[in-house]
A and B are shown apart, each in its own frame.
Chain A
Amino acid sequence: MTPALEIQLIAVFISMACALPGAFLVLRRMSMMSDSITHTILLGIVLAFLLTHDLQSPLLIVGAALIGVVTVWLTEMLEKTRLVTEDSAIGIVFSLLFSIAIILITRYTGSVHLDTDSVLLGELAFAPFNRMVVAGIDIGAKAMYISGVLLMINIILIAVFFKELKVCTFDPMLAAVLGFSPALVHYALMSLVSLTAVGAFEAVGSVLVVAFMIAPPVTAYLLTDDLKKMLILSSAFGALNGILGYQAAVALDVSIAGSMAVMTGLLFLAVFTFAPKRGLISLLLKKKKQQSEFAENTLLMHICSHEPHKQISENALHTIAARLRWDKKKLTHTICLLQKSGKLTMVNGIPAATAKGKDCCKIFVESLGTL
């Protein structure tokens, strides 16, 4: 297997593994918790390293995952005192833990290769150098297996506990009534997030883990209302970002992780602008359509309400413009539209509603009444 292929596989595995739990973070409005956890795992790694003095020890991963959960717990404890708001609690806890980690690194681990650079920024390009050797045979990059296992864990856990996660995310009250423990599910999910962050940060750096956890689900959120579809779309977007990001990084010769993060942003921007139902363009079009519909109905209402009383002068064009405070352009445009749909005719230069127009007006008035 070539290094390029290996890197892309790692990128795809990691992006997908991050996107899955990330979807729940987005739905639970806990996106910033991922930022917090990805920073504090550094403390876990440092503490575990100071205990074991071995950078390869699996205890490092355990320590990091544990600190992730501790971060969530501390933040919630602080929030529960109701002396600070949720956002302040997140900000205080993670920056304190992160500061302690940096101080410990500078003071006690100066001589070993454990620097903030590799934790914060990460470098995917070096991943293939670290080989997995089983019984003397080189079977590929170590990170490939780690990220693959991480993805499997995420898929299996989310598939098995899909029902629990779904209920607890959308209706924690109902979940409690049904006998699930929302708190248990919450901490289980946070452990999963923490574990995923630990597995991913080595390759892409802790800040960019946030991009992979949040951006694909947010993008998917604009396209669907179905949780299952959202999860599938998120991981598909994640995989796409991994491959496109790698190709862009090679073409421009820049950091792979950075380029992947930019790709997640570009993909989001594209969906945000062009999404069929919730995209910026379709929203603006919809708004415009609503505006012109409302203008049509307003004009019809004005005309219909004055017609029965023979107040023809009220329906003269300049009077309408004055009464509705419209400019001439808007008035002629609206009349044009109404004539096209056969709701309005011009009688001696004065607009008059047709039978169809009167029906429309009646429906509109009734709809206003129900508001």
Chain B
Amino acid sequence: MDFLVPLLGDYTFRTVALGAALLGIVSGVLGSFAVLRQQSLLGDGISHAALPGVVTAFLLTGSKNTEILLLGALISGLAAAYLMITIVRHSRIKFDSALALVMSVFFGLGLALLTWAQKTPNANQAGLKRFIYGQASTLLERDIVMMAACGAVLLLLVALLWKEFKIFSFDPDFAQSIGFDTTKLNLLLSFLIVVAIIIGLQTVGVVLMSAMLIAPGVAARQWSNQLWLMVMLSAVFGALSGVLGAVISSAIPSMPTGPVIVVCISVIATISLLFAPGRGILHKIYRQLKARSLLQVEGRDIS
């Protein structure tokens, strides 16, 4: 634990750890809904589709302010989500194909624009790639403030619309029958998930953002059948893996933060899948063995 003491005084470490923890909380909460609604891969799709938005925002404004770039990301992420929904609604193409199609084409567009940006005289373009891989170490204090503000708004909205989201996630038909506008709820919830994804881009990058959305929810799901408990646990798991990832990547040289966070949250998910009481794999095996031995004992009694 000795190595932790100097770390706590370190500005970079504090910023990264705080940022990762915030990201873990926000993506943990919204990811629970994505997991329950079987839209886990939406995160992967949207985060890839955000790239052309980032580059276009840069090309238009010439600024590298995180807020402006993320606004671009948000717009192109939403456009991609809208396109996917349109394709699925107006053709026989399934959701997974529409997702893969839109995601990869948007990413290709982003790459083409990126090479275009590299030709512009504005030498500022170096560093746009940090959104592809994510670079937690580039987080600044103002980024943290922005993440915290956006995160607070998201969490507040989830808390206010808790009942609606809960009913809608488990039984959309029932939600509609008691008079909720499910189209609007769907759009709103998807919008919140997209915002959560965009917030995380800078920290963990396009490719790994999906794990931040899915893994905490999957881990939390194993421990509880209650939505509020699941969401809470998911936020805790997300924050825990964020901080753990920051500590490990600071303590060991040349350990990239984003991937380490993902490994941490995957380990938590694996432990949950194996050991969770009731649902866990080991508990299931134990139950099977017990049932088998019971059957043998009773079988002997009969004979």
A interface residue numbers (CB < 8 A to B)? 26, 29-32, 34-35, 39, 78, 81, 83-85, 87-88, 90-92, 95-96, 98-100, 102-103, 106-107, 110, 116-117, 120-121, 205, 207-208, 210-211, 213-215, 218, 221-222, 249, 252-255, 257-262, 264-265, 268, 272, 278, 280, 283
What are the residues of chain A within 8 A of B215 when measuring CB–CB?
Answer: 91-92, 95
Q: Tell me which of A26, A84, A106 has the highest count of chain B C-beta atoms within 10 A of its own C-beta.
A: A84
Question: Can you show 9 pairs from A to B with CB atoms below 8 A apart?
Answer: A81-B281, A91-B214, A98-B208, A208-B107, A215-B104, A221-B93, A222-B91, A265-B105, A278-B92
Tell me the dominant secondary structure on chain B's binding face.
Answer: helix
User: Out of A39, A253, A254, A264, which one reaches B207, CB within 8 Å?
Assistant: A39
Contact B40 A85 (CB under 8 A): yes
Contact B40 A35 (CB under 8 A): no
Least CB distance from A131 to B in Å reads 25
Contact A106 B255 (CB under 8 A): yes
Contact B211 A99 (CB under 8 A): yes
Given contacts A32-B96, A32-B99, A81-B281, contact A96 B108 (CB under 8 A): no
User: Out of B99, B107, B222, which one reaches A83, CB within 8 Å?
Assistant: B222
Given contacts A215-B105, A278-B91, contact A262 B112 (CB under 8 A): yes
Least CB distance from B227 to A in Å reads 16
Give Cα distance in the complex from A255 to B91, angstroms. Answer: 31
Least CB distance from B103 to A in Å reads 7
Contact B35 A88 (CB under 8 A): yes
What are the residues of chain A within 8 A of B102 when measuring CB–CB?
Answer: 265
Least CB distance from A287 to B in Å reads 10
Contact A84 B207 (CB under 8 A): no
Give Cα distance in the complex from A102 to B208, angstroms. Answer: 11
Give Cα distance in the complex from A107 to B252, angstroms. Answer: 10
What are the residues of chain B within 8 A of A78 when measuring CB–CB?
Answer: 273
Contact A258 B99 (CB under 8 A): no
CB-CB nearest in chain A for B211: A95
What are the residues of chain A within 8 A of B108 when measuring CB–CB?
Answer: 207-208, 211, 257-262, 264-265
Q: Confirm or deny: B177 has a beta carbon within 8 angstroms of a beta carbon on chain A.
A: no
User: Out of B38, B101, B116, B256, which one reaches A211, CB within 8 Å?
Assistant: B101
Binary interface encoding of chain B residues 64-105 relative to chain A, with 1 for a CB under 8 A from any of its CBs, else 0: 000000000000000000000001001111101111111111
User: Out of A84, A252, A255, A260, which one reaches B114, CB within 8 Å?
Assistant: A255
Contact B254 A83 (CB under 8 A): no
Contact A96 B266 (CB under 8 A): yes
Contact B256 A258 (CB under 8 A): no
Give Cα distance in the complex from A129 to B25, angstroms. Answer: 48
Contact A120 B207 (CB under 8 A): yes
Given contacts A92-B266, A207-B48, A262-B112, contact A272 B91 (CB under 8 A): yes
Contact B97 A211 (CB under 8 A): no
B interface residue numbers (CB < 8 A to A)? 35, 38-41, 43-44, 48, 87, 90-94, 96-116, 119, 129, 132-133, 207-208, 210-211, 213-215, 217-218, 221-222, 254-256, 258-260, 262-263, 266, 269, 273, 279-281
Nearest first, the 3 A-B pairs at minimum CB distance are A261-B108, A265-B105, A258-B111
Contact A254 B113 (CB under 8 A): yes
Contact B107 A207 (CB under 8 A): yes
Least CB distance from B196 to A in Å reads 15
What are the residues of chain B within 8 A of A272 when measuring CB–CB?
Answer: 87, 90-91
Give Cα distance in the complex from A98 to B209, angstroms. Answer: 12
Contact A218 B101 (CB under 8 A): yes
CB-CB nearest in chain A for B212: A95
Give Cα distance in the complex from A169 to B20, angstroms. Answer: 43
User: Out of A35, A116, A215, A258, which one reaches B112, CB within 8 Å?
Assistant: A258
Contact A31 B256 (CB under 8 A): no
Contact A214 B97 (CB under 8 A): yes
Contact B105 A95 (CB under 8 A): no
Give Cα distance in the complex from A34 to B217, angstroms. Answer: 24
Contact A35 B100 (CB under 8 A): yes
Contact A100 B214 (CB under 8 A): no
Contact A83 B281 (CB under 8 A): yes
User: Out of B97, B263, B280, which one reaches A31, CB within 8 Å?
Assistant: B97
Contact A87 B208 (CB under 8 A): no
Contact B41 A87 (CB under 8 A): yes
Give Cα distance in the complex from A244 to B278, angstroms. Answer: 56
Contact A90 B101 (CB under 8 A): no
Contact B259 A100 (CB under 8 A): yes
Give Cα distance in the complex from A106 to B252, angstroms. Answer: 12
Contact B48 A280 (CB under 8 A): no
Contact A210 B263 (CB under 8 A): no
Give Cα distance in the complex from A32 to B104, angstroms. Answer: 11
Q: Tell me which of B87, B91, B109, B113 has the highest count of chain A C-beta atoms within 10 A of its own C-beta.
A: B91
Give Cα distance in the complex from A121 to B113, angstroms. Answer: 13
Give Cα distance in the complex from A254 to B116, angstroms. Answer: 6
Q: Tell me which of A30, A95, A103, A120 has the highest count of chain B C-beta atoms within 10 A of its own C-beta.
A: A95
User: Out of B109, B210, B255, which one reaches A262, CB within 8 Å?
Assistant: B109
Give Cα distance in the complex from A280 to B93, angstroms. Answer: 13
Contact B111 A103 (CB under 8 A): no
What are the residues of chain B within 8 A of A261 when measuring CB–CB?
Answer: 104-105, 107-109, 111-112
Contact B259 A102 (CB under 8 A): yes
Give Cα distance in the complex from A207 to B111, angstroms. Answer: 10
Q: Tell me which of B43, B101, B102, B211 has the highest count of chain A C-beta atoms within 10 A of its own C-beta.
A: B101
CB-CB nearest in chain B for A253: B119
CB-CB nearest in chain A for B261: A99
Contact A31 B96 (CB under 8 A): yes
What are the residues of chain B within 8 A of A91 when measuring CB–CB?
Answer: 40-41, 43-44, 210-211, 213-215
Give Cα distance in the complex from A211 to B98, angstroms. Answer: 11
